Structure 1
Amino acid sequence: MRGVPVPLCLCAALVFVGSCGWGGPVEDESGRLPAAPVGVTAAAGSATTVHVMWNAVPSAAGIHGYEVYRGTTKIEDVPGSQHMVDATRLQPATRYVFTVRARDTDGRLGPPSREVRATTPAATASDHSAPTRPGGLRGRTAGSRAVQLSWDASTDDRDVLSYDVYQGGSKIHSVGGAQTATVLTGLRPGTRYSFTVRARDAAGNLSPAGSPVRLTTAGSDDGRDTAPTDFRATTRLGGDGAYYLDLVWVAPRTDGVVTEYQVHLDGTAATSLVFGGTPPPGRATYSFYLGREAGEHHRVRIRARLPDGTWRGLSEERTVTTGATAVP
């Protein structure tokens, strides 16, 4: 998801380790690399932090993650579903330069984005007072993939430096303290979202969240584009005399890495599985216990939880019979 500033008059984490240092792009024989990220911005979030954001990079192979650099030093690796990061432990009153590079799921590292600059404000005297919570959060959908948000300004004993926008419990965007509106893009059609806003001062004190606003984007999304593909299901007799269901599928192509799935058996969610680290490349597999009776018929499907936290479309349905091969 990506936020786009507009004028005031209107808007279980995985870390993927990539290359260290600034080295050259990694490419395969085809020479196809992820594009350089565009829409990169950097804005001070406090005297010691800078908020860096960029647009998602399209890639036929899918984006595995992004590398964020301060000067020539890599400071962060983030998953492909994340398009922002807070650079921390910076010096007050200092100018910094940032760039971003994309790495696809085949390991190819793209070229750096254009350089963006941000200057942290001077450190203030001891300040432990957080700004007041932003009030009056309101919003409206702007088509099927964007929303406009606006809110009432917070107050602080010094100054409000920035506002952080959250989707659920995840920070997804930040704007300057003089701005009380933003546009969020990159959403999914026909999806319900909940947003909140918090204010931050130069000392990094964060206000409580204001009341949430809930919006549903226009249109519909049947989930077919984000359903697991090439789904297969078979049963087998285990050494303990019980039957097991063996599943094989290819992860959906989406913005980021999918680590959680839900298996539906006979129309009901039967079990969930979560990969504890980076999922295996290519085909994924999973097995679970069905019972000891032969000749039982079952219908099975699977769906993925995307990096934005939403469950998407179910795969094609397969029919299996204990003691027999599945029928596609």
Structure 2
Amino acid sequence: MTEKFLQAERYETERPHLRAVAYRMLGSLAEADDALQEAWLRASTTDIADVRNIGGWLTTIVSRVCLNLLRTRQARREEHIDGAPVAQAGPWAIDPAVEAEMADEVGVALLVVMEALGPAERLAFVLHDLFAVSFDDIAVMLEKTPAAARQLASRARRRVRGAQPPTGPEPQSRKRQAVDAFLAATRAGDFQALVGLLHPDVVLTADPAVIPTPDPVVVLGAHTVAKGAMAAIGRAATTGVALLDGEFGLVMAEGRGMRLVLRFAVKGESSLITEVEVIADREALAGIEVTAP
């Protein structure tokens, strides 16, 4: 076998890991695959005779490509369509179900929160906290000192996981269970299970950005709220549990941004949901501190 064949074979072996790195860096499978393609073009023209750690070397190349893409994205962030960031499509058609499965595996809330990080912070956090890359190696990619790379990761970590569930009369473990069950029921399309999670007198409110009406929508009763939740969320493929100002709730992503959030009130030993608040207004969303649970 030629050296070129061996190099391509090793790249394919590392590809799942490299794709996981790129997806967590970029938050888009199309962009991740673009990054892998560019990384392969760079790697395939390099003499690897002196490369001792092929996996680490390829990770470095992919990370640098992703860093450049993040910096370009940041520079273009002012480009919007109807207030939403312009999506950058790759050359391959990505199955929405595959993208949703990947987002669920990584954590929708984590992907949403990381969009607020700067390129260097995102690289330092993803590589160190998610893939255990040393700060010495990260520093080389960022052209900074290891201490500076450590500081970037620490700052990103505080923003991603900074909020802690508060203690109070409503146990957070009970709310987490209720929110998890609500998400599972909507994903499964299990109407009866969803009704069983709701108090008979549950109240759902949705702001005008959720449903285009002059005033907020108010829905009463378990069956009516369950129907509305099913219609609004469906299988909830891109929805995940998050901490909203320190309280467990749900966040729905759209592209790389946040589309809406759901807040819940859960009371009593029965852990039934008594209130659901759906928020999609952009100014209101901007005022909510979203962190990964």
The normalised TM-score by structure 2 is 0.24
**Structure with greater strand share of residues:** 1
The normalised TM-score by structure 1 is 0.23
**Structure with greater helix share of residues:** 2
